[in-house]
Homo-oligomer: A and B are copies of this chain.
């Protein structure tokens, strides 16, 4: 069965994944002389840097997600298909999906990464990842449900398990979640749960390396640790979480921490597709590409963003897996596609590092610019502005802004709803990440 798509004399570029890379590429090629087919398992683009605020009930999913179809109104050469991808035949140039086969002239793989549990089934089944809006909402529901249970529990040990939270992984997600949890403990939970002694809540952040925010400067890493500890987070460095049985976390030094909830932000791993030659897959399940984002050894297949592994002079071990790389690669690749039509030469990709940042609760953030580092209140304001303006859509910007201002002044987040969409009905089957 072939997927229902109009046949035109335009060459067809199939883009898999509507994250920062895929979405920007499709957007830049809209109205070009290609037929663009954008495939994603969700009907929306999600803004990952703010997942943790959805999990902490500070923002609604709709504020950080944007319907794909709305973005491509009046873009007649762009076709959106909501499905997963299963396999590619690089000889026949056909992509296989549950919706049907798609022939392509060019295939761009931009389906990013998912959580890496390093092969541990317990961790995969029992910890909570944060790589999608749905997972963030799930985390929100679990936290709120557990606090409701804690209120009605008379058993001390059972209650501790319900209220304590362990965050694993000291990257931006782990740091930001831990900071947000600490603020929730300080400002919100004591008002919501007068019956609980909120001082008893322990929040742990466990990082296997010897600094938080690996990849950022030592100063910023120290600053983040200092801010977190100031908020009461127990930061544990140089320890690795080896297992979790649903009630206790096993650390590699033999100690155990009691907690029912473990947030797993300790690693990522490239998503997979069948049909690519084995030697194109490298560290972290990434796809090896040349400086034109071309997958070597196969024709007309490209990879961009987190899933792509490219060695550049300044980045001999590949680029960091961040939004900026994906956005910049989509720009170069879009230009190369356009150049091809005009018979012009394609250009190599060069990454321009614009810096990185992380926030730790209200009024505090750390920012590394290429030539300048700073932290504290001003860094936090910069963090807010950069993230606000990176959101797609005027209305999203407006709603996030109002939510932030509201939460800032009221010390309160009003979205603490445990809502499950499945209701009494069977939900249309959940699709896996491609």
Chain A residues within 8 Å of B, Cβ to Cβ: 3-4, 42-44, 60-62, 65-67, 69-70, 73-74, 76, 79, 81-82, 99-100, 128, 132-135, 137-138, 141-142, 144-145, 148, 151-154, 191-195, 393, 395-396, 398-399, 402, 406, 412, 414-425, 427-428, 430, 432
Chain A to chain B contacts (Cβ below 8 Å), 18 pairs: A43-B418, A60-B62, A67-B192, A67-B414, A79-B195, A134-B422, A135-B425, A137-B421, A141-B427, A141-B428, A145-B428, A399-B399, A420-B421, A420-B430, A421-B421, A422-B422, A422-B430, A423-B430
How close is A203's CB to chain B, nearest CB, in angstroms?
20
Residues of B within 8 Å of A153, CB to CB, are: 4
Asked if A427 meets B420 with Cβ closer than 8 Å, knowing A153-B4, A191-B73, A414-B67, the reply is yes
How many angstroms from the CA of A152 to the CA of B430 in the assembled complex? Answer: 18
Contact present for B62 and A135 (CB under 8 Å)? no
- The answer to whether A424 and B432 have CB atoms under 8 Å apart is yes
Q: Is there an interface contact between B425 and A430, defined as CB atoms closer than 8 Å?
A: no
Q: Are A417's CB and B62's CB within 8 A?
A: yes
The smallest C-beta distance from A55 to any residue of chain B, in angstroms, reads 11
Protomer copies: 2
Known: A406-B395, A428-B142. A420 touches B194 (CB 8 A): no
A419 contact from B61, B144, B192, Cβ within 8 A: B61
A210 to B335: give the CA distance in the assembly, Å: 63
Contacts of A417 in B (CB 8 A): 42-44, 61-62, 65, 67, 133
Chain B's closest residue to A114 (CB) is B424
Alpha-carbon separation in the docked complex, A31 to B355 (Å): 53
Question: Contact: A423 with B132, CB < 8 Å?
Answer: yes
B70 close to A423 (CB less than 8 A):
no
> Min CB distance, A154 to chain B, in Å?
5
**Whole-angstrom distance from the CB of A188 to the nearest CB of chain B?**
9
Cβ-defined contact, A148 with B82, below 8 A: yes
CB pair A69 B193 closer than 8 Å: yes
Question: How far does the Cβ of A419 sit from chain B's closest Cβ, in whole Å?
Answer: 5
- Do A418 and B42 touch (CB < 8 A)? yes
B137 touches A419 (CB 8 A): yes
Shortest Cβ gap from A249 to chain B (Å) = 17
A77–chain B nearest beta-carbon distance, Å:
11
Q: Collect the chain B residues with CB atoms within 8 Å of residue A66's CB.
A: 414
The answer to whether A154 touches B427, judged by C-beta atoms less than 8 angstroms apart, is: no
A422→B420 contact, CB < 8 A: yes
A368 shortest CB reach to chain B, Å: 32
- Bound Cα distance from A423 to B74, whole angstroms: 32
Contacts of A399 in B (CB 8 A): 399, 402
6 closest A-B pairs by beta carbon, nearest first, are A69-B192, A134-B423, A137-B421, A67-B416, A138-B423, A62-B415
Q: Given A4-B154, A423-B134, A423-B135, A414–B393 Cβ distance below 8 Å?
A: yes
Kindly list chain B residues whose C-beta atoms are within 8 Å of the C-beta of A134: 419-423
Which residue of B69, B135, B191, B420 is within 8 Å of A416 (Cβ)? B69
Point out the residue from B4, B70, B79, B427 that lies within 8 Å of A414, measured CB to CB: B70
Residues of B within 8 A of A73 (CB): 191-192
Of all chain B residues, the one with the shortest Cβ separation from A79 is: B195
Instruction: Check B62–A414 contact: CB distance below 8 A.
Output: yes
How far is A145 from B425 in the complex, measured between Cα atoms in Å?
15
CB < 8 Å: which of B69, B152, B194 contacts A81? B152
**Contact status A144-B430, CB under 8 Å:** no
Q: Bound complex: CA of A265 vs CA of B217, how far in Å?
A: 59
Which chain B residues border A69 with CB–CB below 8 Å? 191-193, 416
Closest to A431 in B: B420
Contacts of A412 in B (CB 8 A): 70
Interchain CB contact under 8 A, B416 and A138: no
Q: Are B65 and A419 in contact (CB under 8 A)?
A: yes
